[in-house]
A and B are shown apart, each in its own frame.
Chain A
């Protein structure tokens, strides 16, 4: 049997030093443990991060800081999160199941692997076996991207919290071999042309230590459309909100989920909304304009309408009094 090592990290520096090639970070294990079993994790050494703590949720001078290892369930019921970032709390409570939310960490959720059915099978998949091809073109497209960022992979990023965090302008605080850096949430994922197997822009030894949520953002809501009403990944989701002044849109935020391998901050739609009198038709027009650059597959075309409906649910003035 292949040798396999488990060790715990007791400081961030120790974790970073032990990370890197051949090693994988372990937090709750909900993602890593089945990956070991399925032979999808190449590493033969696990570095357990949970002894680091890094699970505090605290107010900062400029907003809220959530430790990377905070458990999803704890974040969703934290009073400061509920008050300032209800979209995040709602996105968490619509994710996975109570046990997985109780176990899973925020950083682990953001770094989860693809849920495309072909990734965990024997069919060609460029993420599992680079160069083998992507089975989506002639296969099941229901969960595929409306806005693929790469010719190599048509998968969507499956995280609900990531979509809410993108709408809240969250920043990812990363510590790694080169020190500390901060990356906007929607740039955590490799863009067009990125290596098809890489789930994020993190390098070997990089560790998400916290998420920073700046103050003064629209609290927003989260709407998730899925095949089952619980315990299912989104077909399309939306996070965001708006603020009206005398019926005119003064501020609008929208992020769309499960349409690409990253939460899709809909800046074009936001710009089209601001300064115009709010109406359901305006929201429809703005989201359609955002998605006009999409080149849907036959099996993903229906997601344009789903995205409009999910966005309409969060960009409703009744929802953000």
Chain B
């Protein structure tokens, strides 16, 4: 089936199997490998992207069901050479170790901040509980998100 959607501001089309997840389309056909294939059942958050601004687990939505929608992946978050404030905060606070979960963490953090739900450490923990970090960089991730919230 054909699907046409906007990815990181650019309109794109592809021929996909109707069973393919949005994650498969992004990684395997568009070469956008920032969103990671982790659990493939909505339990780890590594595949988090934004769809029409909503935090979305790209392993749990079919590619064909996203026709006409606008997808933002980690590759499209920076403004040219200028990192998004959340990306910069992750660097400043050393909020990663191996980096596998980081693209999902950052997009989940953007959604948390946009929803205005980064007012306390506990609120950030609750709003980002679906993004697992096996290196356990959680304190630094919370600090990074809170720093961006404070600067807003």
When chains A and B are docked, how far (Å) is the Cα of A6 from the Cα of B18?
Answer: 6
By Cβ-Cβ distance, the 9 closest A-B pairs, closest first, are A97-B130, A230-B129, A6-B18, A99-B55, A102-B54, A231-B129, A98-B127, A29-B61, A34-B41
Is there a chain A Cβ closer than 8 Å to B56's Cβ?
yes
Q: Which of A34, A73, A96, A98 has the most CB of B within 10 A?
A: A98
Produce 1/0 per residue, B12-43, CB < 8 A to A. Answer: 00000111010000000000000000001110
Q: When the two chains form their complex, are residues B42 and A100 in contact, meaning their CB atoms are under 8 A apart?
A: yes
The answer to the question of B111 belonging to the interface, with a C-beta cut-off of 8 Å to chain A, is yes
With A98-B112, A98-B129 known, 4 other A-B pairs at CB within 8 A are A28-B60, A33-B21, A33-B61, A34-B42
- Say yes or no for A137: interface residue by CB 8 A criterion: no
Q: Does A183 contact B (CB under 8 A)?
A: no
Q: Is B106 an interface residue (CB 8 A)?
A: no
Interface residues of A in 99-121 (CB under 8 A from B): 99-100, 102-103
Nearest Cβ distance between residue A39 and chain B, in whole angstroms? 12
Question: Complex formed: what's the CA distance from A230 to B125 in Å?
Answer: 9
- Closest residue of chain A to B3, judged by CB? A6
Give the docked Cα–Cα distance between A102 and B110 (Å).
13
The answer to whether A103 touches B18, judged by C-beta atoms less than 8 angstroms apart, is no
CA distance A103 to B128 in the complex (A): 15
B111 touches A98 (CB 8 A): yes
Whether A98 touches B61, Cβ cut-off 8 Å, given contacts A37-B40, A103-B54, is no
B interface residues, Cβ below 8 angstroms from A: 1, 17-19, 21, 40-42, 45, 48, 54-57, 59-62, 64-65, 108, 111-112, 115, 117, 125-130
**Known contacts A36-B19, A103-B54; is-contact A50 B42 (Cβ 8 Å):** no
A67 to chain B, nearest CB (A): 17
Question: Given contacts A29-B65, A100-B42, are A4 and B60 in contact (CB under 8 A)?
Answer: no
10 contacts between A and B (CB under 8 A): A28-B61, A29-B62, A37-B41, A48-B64, A97-B129, A98-B115, A98-B117, A98-B130, A100-B57, A100-B60
Q: Which residue of B lies closest to A30 (CB)?
A: B60
Given the known interface contacts A98-B112, A99-B108, the answer about A33 and B60 at a Cβ–Cβ threshold of 8 Å is: yes
B48: chain A residues within 8 A (beta carbon): 99
Q: Let me know if A98 and B55 touch, CB within 8 A.
A: yes
Whether A98 pairs with B65 at a CB distance below 8 angstroms is no
Q: Name which residue of chain A comes closest to B132, CB basis.
A: A231
Residue from the set A33, A96, A100 with the largest chain B CB neighbour count within 10 Å: A33
A99 near B57 with CB under 8 A, answer yes
Is A256 in the interface zone, CB < 8 Å from B? no
Q: Is the CB of A102 within 8 A of B56?
A: yes
Are A34 and B60 neighbours in the complex by a CB distance under 8 Å? yes
A120 and chain B: residue at smallest CB distance: B41
Contact B65 A48 (CB under 8 A): yes
In the complex, the answer to whether A26 meets B62 with C-beta atoms within 8 Å is yes
